């Protein structure tokens, strides 16, 4: 029996979302920009999906722009803001534990002359407001802080941070990468004080290749691509309507409170079972999002244990899927030494996981620690 525990990397597509994508590919397949009747039907589906995403972000439909995923949304937020604001300032404040799509964008912007401040979390795994605020000055134009860390599940105090930032300099643009939060906890840009919010479809039981960015009314972004009138010219190009329509269906299936309660119970059970195994320590903060659980497994390297578990059809990760097995800069930023980071594994749950998945993981992990440590 297979036990899939890598839902922060991607999720299984729901049957309803898959059916919708198939319908849009085989029946309602017209280009939504076409002026004829079939094009109008396609456009209706596009706007229906936009409305579904907007509803889950407590936003207006004209504040939602579809992208190819969270990575493009993050790139658009950073480059779009930096170029739009560069005459007013060139400093960007972010954290040292952001997703690679933020980190790599910042590196590129540094090469172009922008100043980037990377704020590290404290030992509790959370970036503190005063540490962000200390980096904000008159040259700052953008603050980007993720809502939930993709490796540890740490929930950042985004609302508190953005409120303090706006209090210090009201015209700073505030962006949050909410890819790991969307669909799991409420993401309300207004309550968070966020001008820009990035989300992704394939983390919420919808196909890969689609995402969205919330852009608060009045906020200007310089596009990264050019060519057409689609998506307000912010993200031109024919919309991938099968993916977008499926995303809308997946959003309509959200049951945030019900699923959170179930996953929180499952995560607590997993912590209790894992800490009974000699050599296992939990890396996720105490108040982390329960959908993500990071732990280190004794003296066995992450990749070695990952493949051992794989032999028993138990699928976990050694960190962010985008890192492709590279050492975790997130755990290093939290102050964990290489010994602990090198043996770290990430378990990530969805609404579909059960205690049987956790039991299989723990039994096989304990077996692996006995077998592999002597190899």
- The closest of 14, 50, 19 to 32, measured between CA atoms, is 50
**Catalytic site positions:** 322
Contact 212, 67 (CB under 8 A): yes
Determine the distance from the C-alpha atom of residue 186 to the mean position of all C-alpha atoms in its chain, rounded to a whole number: 14
Contact 285, 154 (CB under 8 A): yes
Parallel/antiparallel/unpaired status of strands 344-348 and 292-297: antiparallel
Percent of residues in the chain assigned helix, strand, coil, to nearest 5? 40, 15, 40
* Whole-angstrom distance, CA of residue 46 vs CA of residue 65: 11
110: Cα separation from own chain's centroid: 23
Tell me if 3 sits within 8 A of 360, measured CB to CB: yes
Q: How many CA atoms does the CB half-sphere of 212 hold within 13 Å? A: 31
């Amino acid at each position: 029996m297979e036990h899939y525990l890598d839902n922060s990397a991607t999720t299984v597509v729901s049957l309803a979302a898959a059916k919708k994508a198939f319908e849009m590919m085989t029946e309602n397949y017209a280009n939504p920009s076409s002026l004829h009747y079939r094009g109008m039907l396609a456009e209706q589906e596009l706007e229906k999906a936009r409305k579904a995403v907007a509803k889950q972000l407590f936003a207006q439909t004209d504040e939602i722009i579809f992208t190819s995923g969270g990575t493009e949304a993050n790139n658009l937020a950073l480059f779009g803001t930096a170029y739009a604001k560069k005459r007013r300032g060139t400093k960007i404040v972010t954290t040292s534990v952001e997703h690679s799509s933020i980190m790599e964008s910042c590196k590129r912007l540094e090469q172009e002359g922008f100043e980037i401040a990377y704020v590290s979390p404290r030992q509790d795994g959370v970036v503190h407001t005063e540490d962000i605020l200390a980096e904000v000055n008159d040259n700052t134009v953008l603050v980007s802080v993720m809502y939930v860390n993709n490796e540890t599940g740490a929930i950042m105090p985004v609302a508190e941070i953005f409120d303090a930032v706006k209090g210090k300099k009201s015209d700073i643009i505030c962006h949050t990468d909410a890819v790991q939060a969307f669909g799991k906890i409420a993401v309300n840009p207004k309550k968070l004080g966020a001008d820009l919010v990035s989300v992704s479809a394939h983390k919420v039981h919808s196909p890969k290749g689609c995402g969205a960015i919330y852009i608060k009314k009045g906020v200007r972004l310089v596009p990264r691509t050019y060519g057409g009138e689609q998506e307000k010219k912010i993200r031109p190009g024919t919309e991938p309507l099968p993916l977008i329509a499926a995303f809308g269906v997946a959003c309509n299936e959200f049951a945030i409170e019900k699923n959170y309660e179930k996953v929180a119970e499952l995560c607590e059970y997993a912590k209790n079972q894992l800490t009974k195994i000699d050599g296992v320590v939990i890396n996720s903060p105490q108040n982390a999002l329960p959908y993500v659980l990071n732990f280190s497994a004794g003296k066995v390297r992450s990749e070695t244990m990952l493949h051992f578990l794989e032999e028993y059809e138990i699928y976990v990760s050694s960190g962010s899927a985008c890192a492709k097995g590279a050492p975790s800069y997130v755990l290093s930023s939290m102050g964990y030494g290489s010994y602990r980071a090198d043996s770290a594994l990430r378990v990530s749950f969805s609404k579909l996981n059960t205690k049987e998945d956790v039991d299989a993981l723990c039994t096989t992990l304990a077996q692996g620690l006995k077998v592999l440590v002597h190899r």
